[in-house]
Amino acid sequence: MIEFSHKPVMPEECMQGLALRDGGVYFDGTVGGGGHSYEILKRTAPGGRLIATDLDDCAIAAAEKRLAEFAGRFRIYKSNYKNFAEVLAEDGTDKLDGVLLDFGVSSFQLDETSRGFTYMHDAPLDMRMDSSAPLTAEDVVNGYSQERLAKIIGEYGEERFAKKIAANIVKARASERITRTGQLKKLIEESIPAKFRHNGPCERKAFQAIRIEVNDELGGLEEAVRGLCRRLKKGGRICILTFHSLEDRIVKNVFRDLATDCICDKSLPVCVCGKKKELEIITKKPLTATEKELSENSRSKCAKLRIAERV
């Protein structure tokens, strides 16, 4: 087992976005190695408090160690951030001063070969963020129908050759179960015409799509973002880092809806819809990593940060 290592993306932008203050209560829904959480606790000393969640046992252990100097001011729950209502209830917390969600896969998860997240090394087809979860990438690749595989790879991976990849997977698994990332990588490469293989690693989109399916990363995302926004105190901030266009679109649409006041027909003399503005969008366009950060942390390349404030 390699040491858990994960460099947080856009840490300064996130901290500024949260408008941190001493005595505030903050929720980090994807604690990872504790990089963002450390900064939250450091900058809200001595009275700030943190509630965090993660599904990865290794991440939780690393974060507990990283945050040890702030003992008594934080608590990490092994749970999905989408279960925030249950977590906050268990913690005895109702309203929050700030929420941070970072949807990126950690460096550790990508670099730990046995987790099977990456196409860079041959490994078991796993891709589970929660190693105790029942569904693995091997189950998806060998058990899903051709139509369902094509839909997942096409929608979640935005892969133009999804149908060909799915067809080749089904053909190959008829004679031999696909159990390794190396097998899947080879099938994907063979499914993409040579002239399109130079636009970055051609396996990336399909691997990403299968990972999203295994971990149900988009399921319940809209409801969770909406619910967490409504748990903010007046003036509280929510910062969300996305690394995929589908995630970003969901976040953008939720923010836009909650930032919209009355939606009645303008011809009506008075409002009858009752809709009230709940958020002020701080970032009209998402923030992206600086050139300096891009040169130091390649995994910040696709990151988009959106920030909103409760009104």
CATH number at residue 141: 1.10.150.170
The closest of 101, 64, 92, 122 to 227, measured between CA atoms, is 101
Same domain, yes or no, for 250 and 191? no
Same domain, yes or no, for 223 and 74? yes
Same domain, yes or no, for 54 and 26? yes
Q: Which two tokens stand for residue 134?
A: 């029942």
Predicted confidence (pLDDT) at residue 11 exceeds the cutoff of 70:
yes
* Residue pair 13/41 in contact by the 8 Å Cβ criterion: no
The whole-number pLDDT of residue 200 equals 59
Choosing from 214, 245, 270, the residue where a domain stops is 214
Same domain, yes or no, for 92 and 231? yes
Same domain, yes or no, for 202 and 275? no
The whole-number pLDDT of residue 285 equals 96
Residue range(s) defining the domain that contains residue 202: 109-214
Query: Domains in the chain: how many in total?
Result: 2
**Could you tell me what percent of the chain has a pLDDT over 90?**
77
**CA 75/CA 220 separation, integer angstroms:** 24
CATH number at residue 19: 3.40.50.150
Predicted confidence (pLDDT) at residue 143 exceeds the cutoff of 50:
yes
What SS3 state is found at 170? helix
Choosing from 178, 199, 214, the residue where a domain stops is 214
Predicted confidence (pLDDT) at residue 216 exceeds the cutoff of 50:
yes
The whole-number pLDDT of residue 1 equals 43
* Residue pair 166/150 in contact by the 8 Å Cβ criterion: yes
C-alpha count within 13 angstroms, C-beta hemisphere, residue 105: 21
In a domain, 4, yes or no: no
Predicted confidence (pLDDT) at residue 3 exceeds the cutoff of 60:
no
Same domain, yes or no, for 19 and 83? yes
Choosing from 214, 240, 264, the residue where a domain stops is 214
The whole-number pLDDT of residue 102 equals 94
The whole-number pLDDT of residue 230 equals 97
Same domain, yes or no, for 54 and 122? no
Q: Which of 52-66, 111-125, 211-225 has the least mean pLDDT? A: 111-125
The whole-number pLDDT of residue 128 equals 93
The whole-number pLDDT of residue 2 equals 45
In a domain, 5, yes or no: no
Predicted confidence (pLDDT) at residue 5 exceeds the cutoff of 60:
no
In a domain, 242, yes or no: yes
Residue range 143-163: average pLDDT? 96
What does residue 75 show for φ and ψ, rounded to 5 degrees? -150, 130
How do residues 263-302 score in pLDDT, each as one tens digit?
Answer: 777 777 788 777 889 999 999 999 999 999 999 988 889 9
Distances (CA, A) of 78 to 29, 32, 64, 232: 10, 11, 12, 22
In a domain, 1, yes or no: no
Same domain, yes or no, for 223 and 97? yes
Same domain, yes or no, for 98 and 229? yes
Same domain, yes or no, for 94 and 224? yes
How do residues 240-261 score in pLDDT, each as one tens digit?
Answer: 999 999 999 999 999 999 999 8
In a domain, 235, yes or no: yes
In a domain, 243, yes or no: yes
In a domain, 114, yes or no: yes
**Could you tell me what percent of the chain has a pLDDT over 70?**
95
Predicted confidence (pLDDT) at residue 4 exceeds the cutoff of 70:
no
In a domain, 3, yes or no: no
Helix axes 57-66, 35-43, angle to 10 degrees: 30
The whole-number pLDDT of residue 91 equals 97
Predicted confidence (pLDDT) at residue 36 exceeds the cutoff of 60:
yes
Same domain, yes or no, for 83 and 113? no
| Residue 108: band (very low, low, confident or very high) from pLDDT cuts 50, 70, 90 | low
The whole-number pLDDT of residue 263 equals 76
Residue range 220-231: average pLDDT? 97
Same domain, yes or no, for 132 and 225? no
